[in-house]
Chains A and B, each alone.
Chain A
Amino acid sequence: DGGITQSPKYLFRKEGQNVTLSCEQNLNHDAMYWYRQDPGQGLRLIYYSQIVNDFQKGDIAEGYSVSREKKESFPLTVTSAQKNPTAFYLCASTLDWGRTDTQYFGPGTRLTVL
């Protein structure tokens, strides 16, 4: 089955720790995205990557970092600089940049800071 997998499903972090969220897709999509979801605020774009070895900041990139070394993988690191990281994180992909009509989402990772 083609799709997007995110791991882990739940993640707990202590104050001051960096954590990395995994996102893998086997849809052969060029573009990948990370969103943050908070209650009552919809989805906000953290980072996006149009193609391998390229990524751009979204609307709320502070305290986050990403890499795109392989087409199928787009990991997100939540650093200690992110002041309020508790949220539901969603990874998505599109066939290519410009094809928002092909956007698929992964199942999400819920991050909780203890």
Chain B
Amino acid sequence: QQQVKQSPQSLIVQKGGISIINCAYENTAFDYFPWYQQFPGKGPALLIAIRPDVSEKKEGRFTISFNKSAKQFSLHIMDSQPGDSATYFCAASSRFDYKLSFGAGTTVTVRA
């Protein structure tokens, strides 16, 4: 049973467009929400992360929006580039067991 539900499974966006990936969770003990980026045949790499004391965090073209009351968080990729084509995973962990629970992943394809 997946503790973090991620959507969509895949998306295609034009170069310069905005990619939006959504995640939802049920465990209110979660207090750390990272996003990982994975290229084919490689291991995931941490992209950006947020804690529930803030509603938004931005790093370059990547922004996390966090809605604690709705138990949802999302990744926005602004001005999407072909090099952003990858699989993105959301995840969550709590201070009680420190194990990351991952979403199923979203494959993003950016068309030039």
Contact = CB atoms under 8 A, between A and B. Distances in A.
Interface in B21-51: 32, 34, 36, 41-46, 49
B89 A43 contact: yes
B32 A42 contact: no
A43 B102 contact: yes
Among the interface residues A4, A41, A48, A100, which one has the most CB atoms of the partner chain B within 10 A?
A100
Given A100-B32, A100-B93, A101-B49, A42 B102 contact: yes
Nearest to A108: B43
Contact of A42 (B45, B89, B93, B99): B89
A101 B32 contact: yes
B43 A106 contact: yes
Contacts of A101: 32, 34, 49
Q: What is the interface residue range for chain B against chain A? A: 20 to 34
Contacts of A58: 99
B26 to A, nearest CB: 16
A93 to B, nearest CB: 11
A52 interface: no
Interface string A71-114: 00000000000000000001010000111110111111010000
A45 interface: yes
A8 to B, nearest CB: 13
Nearest to B49: A101
Interface string A42-59: 111100100000000010
B78 interface: no
A2 interface: no
Given A43-B89, A106-B43, A98 B98 contact: yes
Interface of A: 4, 40-45, 48, 58, 90, 92, 97-101, 103-108, 110
